Structures are given as structure tokens and as C-alpha cells.
Amino acid sequence: MAGLLALSRTIDRINEFIGRWVSWLILFAILVSAGNAVIRKVFDTSSNAWLELQWYLFGAAFMLAAAYTLKQNDHIRIDIVYGMFSRRVQHWIDLLGHLFFLMPFVVLMVIYFVPYVSLSFHSGEMSTNAGGLIVWPAKAILLVGFFLLALQGVSEIIKKIAIMRGDMDDPNPFISAHEQARLEAEALAEEAKAIAGEVRP
């Protein structure tokens, strides 16, 4: 297990570095978007290349940060019953979700995009818009994004198994909905006692 945890830490470091670096693409995309708007309004001209560059940058930020977001456990989820379970049951839900939903999906995407990107690269595919950019870098970003997400999925699976085996501490301790409600009720009861004590003559 020590070797697998070392692999998990390496994957985490890679995606941590990429995720933090990619955040700067958002700023660059905003600057490109603002510059394109100024050129269009002030000089009454525009370029499809600048517009497509803006799309590429936002797409790159979204795809390349997906693995980092998974590592941080920040993907959007709709929690109906998850929060009602014990932490161990939640780990099982996460593990099975990674194994049977996340990993098959990202592996299929990687398999699908390899020939897709290769064909685009070797054919020198260009945008259908006049003055547009070459297309293969945008498609390659999709491939890289899904590959990084697959790697992070492996890391998360390793960590979930290690946590349930007791080989590592839970990096994201979570209080169940029932436990949270109980703690809030106790805090309110203590606060009410304190207020009653202050009011009593």
C-alpha cells in the first residue's frame, strides 16, 4: 500500500501544480475577451482568431483544472441522502462511484480522443471560420484533460481504500447531517442556557 500511496501523492502533486498554473488562463482569457471587445467597438473590426483564442483558453481552463477540482473534492454534487450516512458509507459511495462511473467514462473519452486528435493533427485541421485558428490544439486539450482526470481518479481510489483500511487519515473529514444537526442543537441549548442565566435576577 505504501507504493500505491506514493503514486497517489505524485499524481496529486502533478494535478495540484497544473491546477494552480491553469488558473492564470482565466485572467488571460478575460484580457483577450476585453481586448477583442475594445477593438470591435473602437475600431469597428474584429478577428475570428481572437474570438476562438478566447474559447480555447476558457476550454483549457475548464478541462485542465477538472482533475485538480476532483482532488479538492469541489465538483458540484446534488446531495439528497449522502450527508445522512456515516463517513465510512460515504467512502464506499465515493469509491464505487469512482470505479463504476468516473473511471469507465474518462477511459472511454481518452480512447475516443486519441484517434480524433491524431487525425486532426495529421490533416492540419483548421477552423471553418474565416481567419480562424488551427483546431488540433483544442482537441488535444480535451484529451489531456480527460487523461489527467483519469490519473486523479486512480489517486482518489487509492486514497479511499487506504482510508477505509486505516492506512491514512481522512483529509476531508465530514460530519453527517444528523451529527451536524445534533451539534447545532446542543450549541443552541447552551446558548439558551447562557441567555437565561443572564436574564435571571
Measured between its terminal Cα atoms, the distance across the chain in Å is 63
pLDDT digits (tens, 9 = 90+) for 144-187: 999 999 999 999 999 999 988 888 787 766 655 556 666 778 88
pLDDT of amino acid 173: 63
- Residue 42 pLDDT grade (very low, low, confident, very high; cuts 50, 70, 90): confident
The residues spanned by each domain of the chain are 2-176
Q: Could you identify the residue written with the cell 476585453? A: 34
pLDDT digits (tens, 9 = 90+) for 120-152: 888 888 877 777 788 888 899 999 999 999 999
- CB under 8 Å to 85, separation ≥6 — which residues? 93, 176
pLDDT of amino acid 200: 56
- Residue 45 pLDDT grade (very low, low, confident, very high; cuts 50, 70, 90): confident
pLDDT digits (tens, 9 = 90+) for 94-124: 899 999 999 999 999 999 999 989 998 888 8
More confident residue, 47 or 28: 28
Question: pLDDT exceeding 90 applies to what percent of the chain?
Answer: 36
pLDDT digits (tens, 9 = 90+) for 13-23: 999 999 999 98
DSSP string, 1-28: -HHHHHHHHHHHHHHHHHHHHHHHHHHH
pTM over 0.95: no
Mean pLDDT estimate for the chain:
85
pLDDT of amino acid 178: 59
C-alpha cell at 104: 469507465
Largest CA distance in the chain: 87
C-alpha cell at 15: 494535478
